[in-house]
Structures are given as C-alpha cells and as structure tokens.
Structure 1
Amino acid sequence: MIEQTIIHISDTHLTPSGSQPSFNQEIDPYHKLQLVFDDVKKMDTKPNYAVITGDLIHEGQASDYANFKKIISRQEEELQIPIFVILGNHDRTEAFYNGYLSEPVKEKYYYKQQINGVDNYFLDTTFENLEQGYLDQQQLAWLSTSLQTSPETPALIFMHHPAFGSSLENMKFSILQNGLELQKACQKGNVKGVFSGHIHFSTTYLTGTILNCVSDSTAYHIDCRKHHQHFVSDVIGYNIISMSTETEIGVENRYLYCGQNTVKKIQVKSTDFIDPIVFEK
C-alpha cells in the first residue's frame, strides 16, 4: 500500500558565517527554517520524510555546511524522519562534499532512494555557478536507465530548477534549460510528480500527465508579475505533499509569514531561454 506524506522545503539560503543575510532579508533565515520544523512537529500524523531542494547555504564554506549538517541531524532525531537534501545554484559543491558529506568531492550530487514502494530521484541541476539549471547527459542517461528498469514503480523527482510549464512563461531565463530532455527521460518510467524550487514563488502545472509543483522559499519571496522588474520580500513557506494509495498526489502550500516590505529589486533584461551554447563547455 502506498500512502505517504512528504515535507518539501526549498531555498533556505542560510547565511554563511561572518556574512549578512542574502537579498537583504530582515529576518534571520536560520530562525525561519526553525519555524518550519516547529510547524511540521505540530502535524497529527508524522510525515514519512522531508526534502530540501537546494540553495541550502548562500555561497558558503565547508564549515557552514558542517554546521548545517548538525542542524539537519538534530531535526531528523527530533522528527524521527530522514531529511534528504540536493544542491542549488547558490550552493558550492566542493564545500558541500567536504562539510556536509565528509566525502571525496564529485562533480555532481544525485541519487535514488526507494521509500514505501516509491522511487525517489534526487537530481543535480546545477551548472558551474550559473543561475540557470541544466541536466548533463550522464545524469539523464542514469535517470532513463533507472526508470526503464522499473517502469511500473511510481516515481517522484526532486530537483532545484523547475522545468518549463505554462505558468513559467516569463521565467525561461532562470529555470531548467533542457526540460524537454527531462520529459523524454520521464517517459521511460512511471513518474508521478516533479518537485522543485529556485524561483521563490509557488506554482503548480502539468507536463503531460506529470504534476509539477514548485515550492516557495523559507527565506524570501520574489514577485515576478512585472516581467522585467522583480520584487523581493521576506517569507516563510514550504509544501506538504500527500500521496494516496492510488498514487494520486496533492500539495498544500504552507505560509508561516509573508512580509509586506520590498527589501530588494531585481532588474531582468530578457525573460527567454539563454543561448544553449553556454552548456557546451
């Protein structure tokens, strides 16, 4: 029987030691993340696991990731659930491997975990230190092969950058740049949902029969309604994913705080996809 609840957290942007909070946040992002965990603890039914989809530390060092590991380990113990993490464009891979994993550094951090009969894929959509996301061919081949070996097993994909959907028409410049290749890989298996972050506002859309759900940030919200000027404000948001016995999926957007002050403005010249030659390095 498949029935589970997943906590989806994204874009924590925790402040490196000695730095100021990113994007002029007025509330400490560590405090914001703690409030999320405190809220999860109030749930009547314990969730099965939690996922943090990238931008864990805002351009931190190994020591910052070591401290983050302590925070996550403590929350795993208190909640009595595993917490999985992936990387975003503001994470630094080498520092993450050294500080969080204490393992030899690899170019990409992606993996698969089966939980309660569901295959969970945790992908790495980072490309160097670019804002945009990209899935390399090696990772896509790994995903395709793995999905193909168990085509009937329900699968969920977690990644930092969302793939293109109807509600992201004016965000093409920032999201996953080769989403069509991901869609082709997903056709090899039984992918039920793709869950991401990065754009700092929540949205849900379909690509074929696959639910795509983007979580807001625990750190700051970005208002993108004006195509060429975006407005940043403090926020504390996360999602609760529910999967039924028939593998139907529902998502609740939880907001613990929505700041009304604009703390930063972002100018955007072009909203289209960037030149793909960038990724041919």
Structure 2
Amino acid sequence: MIEQTFIHISDTHLTPSGSQPSFNQEIDPYLKLQLVFDDIKKMDNKPSYAVITGDLIHEGQASDYVNFKKIIARQEEELQMPIFVILGNHDRTEAFYNGYLSETVKEKYYYKQQINGVDNYFLDTTFENLEQGYLDQQQLAWLSKSLQTSPETPALIFIHHPVFGSSLENMKFSILQNGSELIRACQKGNVKGIFSGHIHFSTTYLTGTILNFVSDSTAYHIDCRKHHQHFVSDIIGYNIISMSTEAEISVENRYLYCGQKIVKNLDVGSTGFVESSIFDTNSVNISH
C-alpha cells in the first residue's frame, strides 16, 4: 500500500537574465520546467511534495532567484504542495540567500522537514566554486546527531552530488568526494534512500541497504558512457517517487522529451576521484 508520493526534479539550470541557455540548449529551460509542472498537474493521486535537487539557476544573480521564487510560489499554490530546494555547484549561495530566501547569507543551506512520518534531510554538498561535491564536518555531525535521536523513523536524504556507485565509474571526478562519510552517518539512523542529481543521467543502485537514486535533468542529458568524451543533448525528465507504509521505495522515470541531437561535446581528462587536499580548509567562500 502506498503511503505517500513525491516528485523529484533536478538540474533545472534556468537561464540568468541576459544570458544564453547553458550547454547549448535549444529549448528554453524555463519552458522545460513548466512542462514538468504541467505534467504533474495531470496526476490523479496528488503528490505530497516536490524536491529540486540543485543547479536551480545556472550561475545567476539575486534577481534571477527572486524570479525563481515567484515561479515556485505560483506552482506551490497551483499544485497545492510544498516545493523544497537545495543548492548545486552551479548555484550561487549569496545570490540564493539574497534573492530566494531574503535572509542573511550563511555558508551552507541545509535543513530537515518531517512529512507524513518520514524525516527528510536536505543537505548542501557545494564547495566553493568546484564542480565536485563535498560534505563538511558540521553537516555530517548534525545529520548523525539528528538520526540518532529517532533511529527507527524512516529517513530520506536529498543532496546534489551523488554518492559513488558502480554505474558512476566514469564520474568519480565529479561526484560527492567524501560519500563514505555520508554513508557512515546514515548508519546512525533508518535511512531508506538518498536522492541526488548533478550527473545528468538517471541511475539507481544500492549502498548497503540504502537505495541511491540519481535523477536526470529537466534541462539537458549527458551521455557519459565514454571515459574521456561526454555528449550533451536536450531533455525534459523528472521522477515520481512512491513510498509504502513499510517504507519501500519505487521510482517512475518520466521523460517528456528526449533530444537525439548532440548539442555539445565535453572532453574529460582523469575520471578518478580528485585530490582530497583541495577540501582541507576551514574557510568556505560563500560567494563562489
């Protein structure tokens, strides 16, 4: 029996004012996101909430996040559900705090929400202006402590950069660089799933007993099957997640458009994990 359904969207890469769509997209990413929302409205069983796992605006300014906030507020009203967001490496923390939250800027944006008896953790894996993800010790300690306070409660983790799995062998250089630390923290509680994006293709794998689901993008797909050359094409994808009363998770991939034309080639050097010493700092540049 399904207890709840929610929507997982990722990597919208909305275009900043006055810029061209990122990665040579030929379809307006704002239109792509609107088509996703329009598709959600067709569902008979309305979802409880939606999450957008980062890369909201492609390197935008505060005014772009003001506009994004208006879009989200309108969709929350029309869909009658909350929409939660986290940050990705192409987001700009200071602009997000000033434009989306209208709050004093902090180094990291992370929080927890309990919905229908499930603890949802929204984490910030951005590190300065790097492509790679990294979870700082403050967030890991906060997560561990919170999980330990309710070890039997089902929990879900939302991050931008995915934890390593065998299907990400060609993407080690780009994903969460200290994913093993996150998995150790998850073992403090009853984490059922980790949901992420960033790599622009969909994949699912287990880390121990934890389901890892990596979402494709609403903006563009990246074919990463070749080690040292990746190929970009337009796409519109999102996911419908169902969770049973026994906290069993199922995922439906929804694709509204799959472009066949390659719009950009990406040359890739080393595909291994990066040197960990680049994260050895206690000072994070919040302005990226």
Do Structure 1 and Structure 2 share a fold, with TM-score over 0.5?
yes
| Structure 1 gap ranges (5+) | none
> Counterpart in 2 of 1:191?
191
Q: Distance in 2 between matches of 1:143 and 1:167?
A: 26
Partner residue of 2:267?
A: 267
CA distance in structure 1 between the aligned counterparts of 2:119 and 2:101, rounded to whole angstroms: 22
SS of the equivalent of 2:31 reads helix
> Partner of 2:222 in structure 1?
222
CA distance in 1, matches of 2:177, 2:266: 21
Q: What's the secondary structure of 1:232's corresponding residue?
A: strand
Matched letter for residue 276 of structure 1: S
Counterpart of 1:252 in structure 2 is: 252
CA distance in 2, matches of 1:250, 1:166: 20
In the alignment, is residue 278 of structure 1 matched against residue 285 of structure 2?
no
Whole-angstrom distance in 2 between the partners of 1:43 and 1:129: 38
Task: Specify the code of the residue in structure 2 equivalent to 1:214.
Answer: V
| CA offsets 1:95-150 (integer angstroms, 9 cap, x no match) | 00000000000000000000000000000000001000000000000000000000
Correspondences of 1:34-73 after superposition (within 5 Å): 34-73=34-73
User: 1:108 corresponds to which residue?
Assistant: 108
CA deviations over 1:62-91 (Å, ceiling 9, x no partner): 000000000000000000000000000000
Contact 1:2 1:116 in 2 (8 A): no
Aligned residues: 281
Shift of 1:170: 1.2
* Offset, 1:169: 1.1
> Which residue matches 2:138?
138
Residue 2 of structure 1 deviates from its aligned partner by 7.5
**In the alignment, residue 37 of structure 2 is paired with which amino acid?**
F
Specify the code of the residue in structure 1 equivalent to 2:62.
Answer: A
| Residue 83 (1) aligns with residue 79 (2) | no
* Cα distance in 1 between the residues matched to 2:158 and 2:247: 17
Cα RMSD (Å) = 0.8
SS of match in other structure, 2:274: coil
Aligned to 1:11: 11
Instruction: Give the 3-state SS of the residue equivalent to 1:163 in structure 2.
Output: coil
- Distance verdict in 2 for CA 1:113–1:2, change over 3 Å: farther
- Opposite residue 9 of structure 1, the aligned amino acid is I
Structure 2 length normalisation: TM-score? 0.97
Contact 1:2 1:117 in 2 (8 A): no
The Cα offsets for residues 203-237 of structure 1, whole Å up to 9 and x where unpaired, read as: 00000000000000000000001110000000000
Q: TM-score, normalised by structure 1?
A: 0.99
Summarize the Cα distance change of 1:222–1:36 in structure 2 as closer, same or farther, 3 Å threshold. same
Q: For structure 2, which runs of at least 5 residues remain unmatched after alignment? A: 282-288
Contact kept? 1:131, 1:174, Cα under 8 Å: yes
For 2:134, what is the secondary structure of its paired residue?
coil
State the identity %.
88
Q: Residue 128 of structure 2 aligns with which residue?
A: 128
What are the superposed Cα offsets for residues 179-216 of structure 1, whole Å, 9 maximum, x if unpaired? 00001000000000000000000000000000000000
Deviant stretches of 4+, over 3 Å: none
1:33 aligned residue: 33
